[in-house]
Structure 1
Amino acid sequence: MITNLVVRQVVQVLFVIVAAPLLAGWIRQCRAWLANRVGAGLLQPYRELSKLLRKQPIVAHEASVLFVATPYILFTTMVVAGAMVPMITTRLPLAGAADVIALAGVFALARIFAALAAMDLGTAFGSMGARRAMLVGFLAEPALLMVLFTPALISGSTSLVVIVRQLAHHGAMLYPSMAFAAAAYVMVTLAENARLPVDNPDTHLELTMIHEAMNLEYSGRYLALIEWASAIKLFVYIGIGAALFFPWGITQSHGLAALPMAYALLVAKLAAAGGGLAVIETLFAKLRLFRVPEFLGTAFLLAVLGLLVRYLFGH
């Protein structure tokens, strides 16, 4: 039994690590199709990561140990987050650690290290990007917690495993509170993963970039690890959304027979979510920086509204 659980955990972690760049490539390809372009293909992120991993990183003389260690810390924390979320099955060794508050803490830890490393060299762009990223994180994290508290109130627990089991047991029942929470979660996902309309991951314009400004001093395998960690983070956020709002297909049995269907359903959910993100990024323009607090404030209000609807009306 223990070996079976370990195998499930290892397979899910490997799936998250390997499939995260493919999800990023799928979103790029969908955006290209929506813009009537051919696109670079689904495997382009793998080519970029392979090229960066083969290059020797260049580190400034003023860089501290924190600057060098941060890419590894970011990659590790995102892998740990991917291991905690029950995307395929609820029977995981790390199920006891899959708490929504602990998960938000893991994301906050990665954000802090990224900001500190960006300010380590004292460059203008790095410090600017760190300040902007902390502003976005300061506004997005409360909204994320309010979103997670709504399904926690429904299931009576902050454990992701218990939440998934309870929501899957209710079937396709529509909760108005979860509808508000889902809308807020989409907005938080866009902000936390540097997507349009909050940030544009494909630009290096001084007045607009947030996430990219923190990575300008990295190169080689360090930059590859950061880009890979960003892809895993987006994968995990979509996996959390699928587990909270579309938990159907996540197996709860001890056997291995249901796992292929669970993986197939997860791939379908990821493909649908990636296509939806591509549509959003095609339809909406980049917000001005001073409009980002309004955007995330709206997400927070939607999350609180969902929480109040559940608490006052029980729906």
Structure 2
Amino acid sequence: MIAHLFMRQGVQILFVLAMAPLLAGWVRQCRAWLANRAGAGLLQPYRELLRLLRKQPVVPHEASALFVATPYIVFTTMVVASALVPMITIHLPLAGAADAVVLAGVFSLARIFAALAAMDLGTGFGSMGARRAMLVGFLAEPALLMVLFTPALISGSTSLVVIVRQLARHGVILYPSMAFAAVAYVMVTLAENARLPVDNPDTHLELTMIHEALNLEYSGRYLALIEWGAAIKLFVYIGIGAALFFPWGIAQGTSPAGLAIAYALFSAKLATAGAGLAVIETVFAKLRLFRVPEFLGTAFLLAVLGLLMRYLFGH
């Protein structure tokens, strides 16, 4: 029994590692289709990762051990986060640690190390990107916690496994509080993953970049780990959203047929979320940097409104 549990955990981690670049490629391809372009194809992220992994990294002379260790820490942190989220099944060895607050702390750990590594060299772009990234994180984390507390009130627990089990048991019920929380979660997901309209992951314009400014000094396998970790982070955020707001289809049992259906349904959720993300990034232009606090402040207010609606009115 224990061996089967760890096998399911390992299969989910391998699924995330393999599918995260494909999700990034799917979002790019959908954006290309919406812009009437052919696009580079779904497998382009895999080609980019392989190209970077083959290259020898160049480390600046001023870099400390923190600069070298950060890509491995960020990548490992994202893998750990992917293991905590019940995307496919609730029967996982790490299910007991799948707490919403713990998960928010895992993401914060990766952000802190990325910011420290960017400031390690003392370059202007790195320090600028670190300050901007910490500002976004400072504003996004409270909104994320408020979002997570709404389903926690409904289920009576902050454990993601309990939340998934309780919400799936209730059936398809439209909670107004969850609707507000879902909108806020989408806004937080865009900010935390450096997507439009908060940031543009495809540009290196020094006046606007946030996430890319953190990684300008990395190359080779270090940059590959960071880019792969960013793809996993987007994958995990979509997995959390699916678990919180669309828990139906997550396997409650351990039968192979049920797990196969759960993987197929989750793949469909991924494809839908990726297409929706592409639509958002196509429709909305990038916000000016001083408008980002307003954007995340709105997300926080929506999350608090959903939380109050659930607490005061019970729906």
Interval of TM-score (by shorter of Structure 1 and Structure 2): over 0.9
Report the equivalent of 2:155: 155
Shift in Å, 1:252: 1.0
Which string of whole-angstrom CA distances, capped at 9 and with x for unpartnered residues, describes residues 255-299 of structure 1? 222011000000000000000000000000000000000000000
Aligned to 2:88: 88
Counterparts of 2:126 and 2:62, CA distance in 1: 14
Alpha-carbon separation, structure 2, partners of 1:271 and 1:256: 23
Q: 1:150 Cα deviation (Å)? A: 0.2
Q: Distance in 2 between matches of 1:178 and 1:225?
A: 35
In 2, distance between residues paired with 1:16 and 1:145? 24
Count of equivalent residues: 315
Q: Deviations over 1:101-157 (max 9, x none)?
A: 000000000000000000000000000000000000000000000000000000000
Q: Which residue of 2 aligns with 1:99?
A: 99
TM-score, normalisation: structure 2? 1.00
Q: Distance in 1 between matches of 2:51 and 2:186?
A: 32
Secondary structure of the corresponding residue to residue 200 of structure 1: coil
Which amino acid counterpart does residue 297 of structure 1 have in structure 2? G
State the SS of the aligned residue for 1:258: helix
> Following TM superposition, by how much is the alpha carbon of 1:303 offset from its aligned partner in structure 2, in angstroms?
0.1
Deviations 1:163-217 (A, max 9, x none): 0000000110000000000000000000000000000000000110000001000
Q: Give the corresponding residue for 1:186.
A: 186
Provide the C-alpha distance between the structure 2 equivalents of 1:235 and 1:220, rounded to a whole number of angstroms. Answer: 23
In structure 2, how many angstroms separate the alpha carbons of the residues matched to 1:252 and 1:6?
Answer: 16
Which residue identity is paired with 1:105? G
Equivalent residues in 2 for 1:264-303 (5 A)?
A: 264-303=264-303
Instruction: Report what 1:14 is aligned to.
Output: 14
Give the match's secondary structure for 1:257. helix
SS of 2:230's equivalent?
A: helix
Map of 1:50 onto structure 2: 50
* Structure 2 residue aligned with 1:221: 221
Letter in 2 for 1:173: I
Alignment of 1:13-92 (within 5 A): 13-92=13-92
In 2: Cα distance, 1:252 partner to 1:94 partner = 15
How far apart, in 2, do the equivalents of 1:50 and 1:76 lie?
18
Report the 3-state secondary structure (helix = DSSP H, G, I; strand = E; otherwise coil) of the residue aligned with 1:183: helix
Gaps of 5+ in 1: none
Does residue 1:230 correspond to 2:265, yes or no? no
In the TM superposition, what whole-angstrom CA distance separates every residue of 1:221-262 from its partner, at most 9, and x where no partner exists?
000000000000000000000000000000111322201100
Q: What is the TM-score when the length of structure 1 is the normalising length?
A: 1.00
Tell me the CA shift for residue 3 of structure 1: 1.1
Structure 1's consecutive aligned runs of 4 or more residues displaced over 3 angstroms after TM superposition are none
What is the percentage of aligned positions where both structures have the same residue? 85
| Letter of the structure 1 residue corresponding to residue 191 of structure 2 | A
Q: Which runs of 5+ in 2 are unaligned?
A: none
- Please give the root-mean-square deviation of Cα atoms over the aligned residues, in Å: 0.4
Give 3-state SS (helix, strand or coil) of 1:178's partner: helix
